[in-house]
Chains A and B, each alone.
Chain A
Amino acid sequence: MRSRDGNYAQLFSALLLVSSATTLLAATDAYIISYRATVKNAQLLHEKLSLSRAMTPCRGSVENVELILPIAQSQNLRTIIEQNRDAFFTYMQTQDLHVKSAASKGNNSYSELTTLTLPPHCFIVTINENFAIISAFK
């Protein structure tokens, strides 16, 4: 039934309810993510992905390129990244990666150690029911 003021009040309250529910379901946080892989003589020796919530607000602007990862079970970011490791690794290659390599050739011996590092970088992570959206700060 149409009220004397129209249906704007009901419409407004419904919109408010939807927006608050969306806000509650989708949590946006800033994370500091870093990665390091060490390869010795063409064999992966060590690989480590570190992530933690940013203790201070990140400064800068958010890049337009974003990574959308599907969520299977857990909403823990580490679990999500572990489950979509290849996709995250591909996305990570758009960031500045530091390569450091040292090779040594002696008498009848050759040794090579290469380290690929993503320095600690700030990422904005939005997690909702189905997806985690990751975008980096410039």
Chain B
Amino acid sequence: MKTALFSLLALTLLFSGCTKQPECPPPPAEVKAPPPPPAPVVKANTPVLTQHKPIRITVVGQGVAPCTGSCSPEQALVLAKRAAIVDGYRLIAEKVKGVYVQGRDYVHNMMIKSSKVRTFVDANIRNANVIDTLYKDGLCEVEMEITLNYSQLSY
């Protein structure tokens, strides 16, 4: 009889003892999957090239005639226009391909001596069009555009 009572008491202690002790670790909580990363935020006005939506990029290049007074107005216009077109190409390349920026600061005795920023552009451009030309007071402004198509991309 005593043996049965002891064994019953031992079983009771065995099954109920751990729940009353404060130092027992809590039961493992349900593991939740981490939330998915947020979708990339695209600004409202950022053009995105898709298959059925070509992007048209428009720039205005500026150029001045190298000769002031020493050449005829027509010659000045031609030279300024050529410079403006080259400037327009540079702007298109900056927009389409991007710009490399390199900064260099020279510090001597805790004082900055010189600060220089250099930018580089290097690109191949095809099928850019001159839309409009404006020449006034020796300054030539050329509006240029290029259309980017999904089919023109080469990977």
Contacts and interface: CB of A to CB of B under 8 A. Distances in A.
Contact of B87 (A39, A89, A98, A102): A39
Interface residues of A, number: 28
Nearest to A102: B120
Interface in A54-110: 85, 89-90, 93-107
Interface string A105-138: 1110000001110000000000000000000000
A114 B122 contact: no
Contacts of A100: 121-122
B118 A42 contact: no
Contacts, number: 96
A101 B66 contact: no
Contacts of A97: 89, 124-126, 128
A61 B85 CA distance: 29
Interface string B84-106: 11110110110000000000000
B63 A90 contact: no
Interface in B48-103: 62-66, 78-80, 82-87, 89-90, 92-93
B64 A116 contact: no
Interface string A11-43: 000000000000000000000000001010011
* Band of interface residues on B: 35 or more
Given A93-B128, A99-B125, A104 B62 contact: no
B79 A44 contact: yes
Contacts of A114: 86-87, 89-90, 121
A101 B86 CA distance: 10
A100 B122 CA distance: 5
A37 B120 contact: no
A103 B127 contact: no
A94 B93 contact: no
A47 to B, nearest CB: 7
B116 interface: yes
B147 interface: no
A-B pairs with lowest CB-CB distance, top 6: A101-B121, A43-B66, A44-B83, A39-B86, A99-B93, A101-B90
Given A89-B85, A99-B86, A99-B122, 14 more contacts: A37-B86, A39-B63, A39-B86, A43-B63, A43-B64, A44-B80, A99-B90, A99-B121, A99-B125, A101-B93, A102-B118, A106-B114, A114-B87, A116-B86
17 contacts: A42-B63, A42-B64, A42-B87, A43-B63, A43-B65, A93-B126, A94-B127, A99-B93, A99-B123, A101-B90, A101-B120, A101-B121, A102-B120, A103-B119, A104-B118, A105-B116, A116-B85
